[in-house]
């Protein structure tokens, strides 16, 4: 396999574990980034959002405590503010995210990542 595959992974998340298992059953061994321990930079998050075709709020887990505490539902917040919040509070980032061949996919459901492989 010449193309690197990156998985932003949370081993405690069933969807993330299922996506990793799916990748492996397809013959891929991704580079795993446990994003809670090693959060993507604001620049990396902006690039991921572009690849996904999503706005920052669309990639956020709105039921997390940090979403409420940081008042991230405020419509006046700019994209850069939401990206900064995801970097500072990586639990807010929806997962898993797979990057491959210059594309990105959110593994919800896990099979959604197959379209970029």
Domain boundaries, the chain: 1-35+95-117
Active site residues: 13
Give the number of residues written for the chain: 117
CA 1 – CA 49 distance, rounded (Å): 25
> What tokens appear for 43 in the block?
């620049």
Q: Is the pLDDT confidence value at 3 over 80?
A: no
Question: Nearest CA to 16 among 93, 69, 88, 84?
Answer: 93
Structure confidence at residue 49 (pLDDT): 98
Structure confidence at residue 2 (pLDDT): 42
Largest CA distance in the chain: 45
Taking the whole predicted model, whether its pTM rises above 0.75 is answered as yes
Specify the fold of 1-35+95-117.
Glutaredoxin (3.40.30)
Q: Is the pLDDT confidence value at 110 over 90?
A: yes
CA 100 – CA 96 distance, rounded (Å): 13
Summarised one tens digit per residue, pLDDT across range 34-69 is: 999 999 999 999 999 999 999 999 999 999 999 999
């Amino acid at each position: 396999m010449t193309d690197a595959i990156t998985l932003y992974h949370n081993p405690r998340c069933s969807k993330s574990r299922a996506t990793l298992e799916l990748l492996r059953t397809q013959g891929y061994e991704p580079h795993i980034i446990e994003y809670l321990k090693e959060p993507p930079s604001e620049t990396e998050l902006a690039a991921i959002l572009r690849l996904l075709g999503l706005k920052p709020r669309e990639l956020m887990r709105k039921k997390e405590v940090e979403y409420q505490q940081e008042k991230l539902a405020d419509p006046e917040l700019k994209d850069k503010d939401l990206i900064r919040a995801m970097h500072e509070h990586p639990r807010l980032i929806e997962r898993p995210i797979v990057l491959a061949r210059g594309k990105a996919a959110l593994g919800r459901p896990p099979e959604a990542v197959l379209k970029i492989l």
